[in-house]
A and B are shown apart, each in its own frame.
Chain A
Amino acid sequence: MTRSRVFRSLALVSGLLLLAACGPSKSTQALFKARNAIQVAEVADAAKKRPYELTLAKEYYVKAKEEAGYSKFELSEKLAKQALEFAKVAAGETSPVATPIPDDESK
């Protein structure tokens, strides 16, 4: 193997490593945001006011962490983002994206 070939291979491996490093950082960022949002929701008394949404947020957050543990960073990021959305609803920051289901009218 010539020296230039070795360098080329090294460059390729470095590039791939750099690319692979993007996944974890995005996922970690999303997890961090979700965790913060859940904390905000808890402070906003979501456990009493919107326990359904708060529980969903927590469940999705736990699952997102689990997926990150399996190195499924893309899926982890998606789940964490969903946890964030639920946490925002739980905190009363946003209303559910879709039209409320009939049961919600009684709240």
Chain B
Amino acid sequence: MRLRSASLVALFLSLAALAACGNPINVRARQDALKIEIAKATELGAKDCAPEEFAKSQAQMDFAIIEIEQGDYIRAEDHLEEGFRMAKAAQRGAKNCSRAIVVKATPKPTVVVVLTPTPKPTAIIILVTPTPTPVVIIKETPTPTPTPATPTPTPDVTKIDSDGDGTPDLQDDCPGDVGPLANRGCPVRDADNDGVPDGNDECPTVPGFAAFKGCPPPDKDKDGVVDSADNCIDQVGPVTNKGCPELKFIVINKETKRIELKQTIHFASGKAIILADSFGILDEVAKVMRENTTMEVRIEGHTDSDGPATANLALSKARADSVRAYLAKSGVGPARMRAVGLGETSPLGENRTNEGKSINRRVEFHITKD
């Protein structure tokens, strides 16, 4: 007996829980009912008379559709309830509002005959005169009209919603396709599935970002590194090198405006003769300068402090000249390069140690024009 009552309680609780989760069938039925209420409000002219309430009811309907699509029937019900409240308020507002019928004046008077769907045919004739200000005259005639005698009830066009998307056909630009009211009843199309609707997407077939109007970010050299992150927007280069060409011996540092060398240029001891093991470095510098035709550089020669300063100055100048000559021979216009010798005046390391001296014996490339 105890087991039986426990089972009954469990069953009751399960049913209660199921009811609390929102019943899809009930929600759909209420959605249809709200559609009818909104259509009634539309018919009463609520859009003009109670625009706020009318807009709210339509928005709530849209949100309910969204929630149903998401499978959240409880939230859908909340929206439907609010939608009902607003639709009713809109209807009340419309009933209290005298609807102004504005008929545009036409050059020739026109006659419009409207049949009311009552058992006895009654015709309302609306005469429109071509005066500067539109005038509406309404006459009621109890006699039958010459138009077809049997007054078949005309369907209420304001209620028709062919695709059942909640947007009446009158307001639905796509009556055959399901779409939210916000999009005038048309489905929101997004061919490239990038979250930017095709209507706002300047690249509808290429996934992109809203910030770029649905297009991918600009990448001038098409190297896969977007321009904003590309240090060399005109040259193909990997992302690991910030979009710049991968160079073996040098790095173009646009922040410090330097062509940085990964290896030192070697010269014959005490002379300005470039050793063959440094040709590769200079060839790479020449290549970059040939590709960047506007680039201009200052070639600086530096020495350590061994020996007389004047001799060091002369040697550094000679070495800078030597580098300039090599680059000129490799196809770089001499006018784009200026060679200066700074001797031992700008040391980077300690001149007391061999290591420091080695650092101080160097050639630097400073970019003076990009």
Contacts and interface: CB of A to CB of B under 8 A. Distances in A.
Interface of A: 26, 30, 51-53, 55-56, 59-60, 63, 72, 74-75, 77-78, 81-82, 85-86, 96-99, 101-103, 106
Interface string B190-201: 000001010110
Contact of A98 (B52, B60, B186): B186
Contact of A59 (B56, B188, B199): B56
Contacts of B52: 51-52, 55
B51 A55 contact: yes
A63 B183 CA distance: 16
B170 A59 contact: no
Contacts of B182: 56, 60, 82, 85-86
28 contacts: A30-B210, A52-B47, A52-B52, A52-B55, A53-B55, A55-B52, A55-B55, A55-B56, A55-B59, A56-B55, A56-B182, A59-B56, A59-B59, A74-B195, A75-B66, A75-B70, A77-B195, A78-B188, A81-B197, A81-B210, A96-B184, A97-B183, A97-B184, A98-B184, A98-B186, A99-B173, A103-B47, A103-B48
Q: Top 9 nearest A-B pairs by Cβ distance? A: A55-B55, A59-B59, A52-B51, A98-B184, A51-B51, A98-B173, A55-B52, A82-B182, A56-B55
B45 interface: yes
A60 B171 contact: no
Contact of B63 (A26, A63, A72, A81): A63
Contacts of A103: 45, 47-48
Interface residues of B, number: 29
A106 B56 contact: no
Contacts of B58: 56
Nearest to B58: A56
A52 B60 CA distance: 14
A86 B62 CA distance: 14
The A contact surface, by secondary structure, is helix
B170 A101 contact: yes
B202 to A, nearest CB: 15
A81 B214 CA distance: 13
B171 A26 contact: no
Interface string B99-136: 01010000000000000000000000000000000000
A53 B181 CA distance: 12
B54 interface: yes
A81 B195 CA distance: 11
Interface in B64-104: 66, 70, 100, 102
A70 to B, nearest CB: 9
Interface in B153-187: 170-171, 173, 182-184, 186
A7 to B, nearest CB: 19
A51 B47 CA distance: 9
